Amino acid sequence: MRSLRLVVALVSAAAFAAACTSGKGVEPTPAPVDTRPLADAPPYLCGLVPQEAFRIVSGVAESIRQQKSGTDKNGLCSMRDVAPHPLVVSWMGQGGATLEHLHFVADDLLAVYERHDGVRLPMELGTGMAAYVPDHGSLTEQSYQVAAKFRCDGEEQLLTLRLDQVAEGRDAMGDLIALMRIAQRRYGEVHRCVPGT
């Protein structure tokens, strides 16, 4: 009789314990947010964006392959062969496009960013904005974008960075502006000109 009571007690305890669980299991602990500041250090993606800074901002850990097209004055560089590309960098400068076309493209981008409550860039980076554009449609496949029209040794340039994702917990607009600051400095080194002049 005693063993029967023990079995009944154990079965009752097991049933009670099962009734108290949600059945969903234990929720995984989210990965900690990488809060490191973005550093300007090689190697560079597309010659302009520090690879480690890109990884911190985007959370992308996979290997990265670059594809470039165009010229030094008017070109595009993207990561990966298939869409959506984690990073797309495009540049346009006098000599690669007419000044009128450069202004038209820049104004069009800024109008889109304005409609999406974009954040204006600091004056030292030129005329531009960073924005989250979720309904990008045919404009691009990357929702996180920053564009700047700036002068480099007296010639106007347009530089655009677009990211497919930003790691959870990061300040997307702040990071886009920081990446633009680094990319403009690198643009000056690569093209042997001084941004902002």
Q: Which helix (H) or strand (E) holds 18?
A: helix 2-19
pLDDT in tens, 145-174: 999 999 999 999 999 999 999 999 999 999
Q: Six-digit token pair at 39?
A: 């550093």
Q: Among residues of the chain, what percentage have pLDDT more than 90?
A: 68
pLDDT in tens, 83-120: 678 999 999 998 788 999 999 999 999 999 999 999 99
Q: Could you tell me which of 69, 66, 62, 108 has the C-alpha nearest to residue 91?
A: 69
Whole-angstrom distance, CA of residue 53 vs CA of residue 1: 70
How many Cβ atoms are within 10 Å of 17's Cβ, its own excluded? 9
Contact 174/69 with Cβ under 8 angstroms?
no
pLDDT classification of 136: cutoffs 50, 70, 90: low
pTM for the full model? 0.82
pLDDT in tens, 11-40: 454 444 444 444 455 666 666 788 899 999
